[in-house]
Amino acid sequence: MTKLHLTQARAELTHTITALNESFEAVTVSVPAERALTIYVDKREIVTLMTLGVNPELLTLGYLLNQKLIASPAEVASITVDWCATEEGGAAAVKTHSGLVAIEQRTAHRIVTTGCGQGSSFGGLLDAAQQLRLPDAQLPQAALFEMLSLIRLQDTTYKQAGSVHGCALFRIDARRKSAQLLYHVEDVGRHNALDTLAGWMSLQALQDKGCSDAPRAGHTGCALYTTGRLTSEMVLKSVQMGVPFVVSRSGMTQMGYELASKLNLCLIGRALHTRYLCYTGGEKITP
């Protein structure tokens, strides 16, 4: 198997500015960074994402996966990110082993979606999601509460500067009724955060199995946490990532609800401390 080469581009995540408060006093506040990252695949420009910049290589990988422009990270030879590529922002240069299949067709149909975040997807996501089958799994309530507690303890850009969304993946041990934080990422857009997580998951799958056709879905015993609202696109992406539980601090929309019901996703919202509302798949939560 050919190794996937990723750069490790880093950038400042917060910035300090001086604001005037209601008493006309100067106060110093932190704000999150927001920078442009243009993705090129085999020198072809695909899209420009506005991002916080935590892990642009994984964001790029996850974006290509979630937009179904690639089916596996094994298709990619390298992702090279340069934050100083142009005056306008950074560039992520993706080199594939054998080119993107049917790129014209895949990028032709645009859906501009609702959510906080990147909010744009190429066609066929819904069709694809309907063909997936989420693993049957259970989420003990104690493990759910542990997830919420672990998230609260994270050192975050949100705590420092606000105005970002967070996304995290947990391993659930149903027997021990416990949760373990696997990966946590923040971005100015919640879709970027979710895509970065998708990139991380795909890489884990690739490394664990050591084979190029490692399945991306079927992550039994995993649960996803997001600070963002559960709109249709968030639900679709979660299903695509094969995660059977999605937990949000926020609420959801009607289409998020309908898709989750249809796709057998357990959707939990308004989750904070020891409170939550389980919208779909309530039978999967055990006392």
Q: Interface with a second copy by CB under 8 A: which residues?
A: 14-15, 17, 19-22, 24, 27, 29, 31-36, 47-51, 110-120, 141, 161-163, 187-192, 228-229, 231-233, 250-257, 269, 274-279, 282, 285, 287
Instruction: Give the 3-state DSSP-derived string for 154-208, with helices as H, strands as E and coil as C.
Output: CCCHHHHHCCCEEEEEEEEECCCCEEEEEEEEEECCHHHHHHHHHHHHHHHHHHH
Nearer to a second copy, 215 or 282 (CB): 282
CB of 155 to a second copy, least distance (A): 19
Question: What is the rounded CA–CA span in Å between residue 182 and residue 44?
Answer: 33
Nearest to 196 by CA among 232, 154, 165: 165
CB of 254 to a second copy, least distance (A): 4
Nearer to a second copy, 9 or 267 (CB): 267
Instruction: Output the six-digit token pair for 259.
Output: 């898709």
- Would you call 110 helix, strand, or coil by DSSP? strand
Nearest to 62 by CA among 204, 235, 188, 232: 204
- Residue 260 DSSP label: H
Question: What is the rounded CA–CA span in Å between residue 112 and residue 109?
Answer: 10
Nearer to a second copy, 218 or 251 (CB): 251
Phi, psi values for residue 170, rounded to 5°: -120, 145
- Look at strands 245-248 and 90-96 and give their pairing: unpaired
Nearer to a second copy, 210 or 287 (CB): 287
Nearer to a second copy, 162 or 215 (CB): 162
Q: Tell me the β-bridge partners of 91.
A: 38, 82
> How many residues are listed for the chain in this entry?
287
CB of 285 to a second copy, least distance (A): 7
* Residue 221 amino acid letter: G
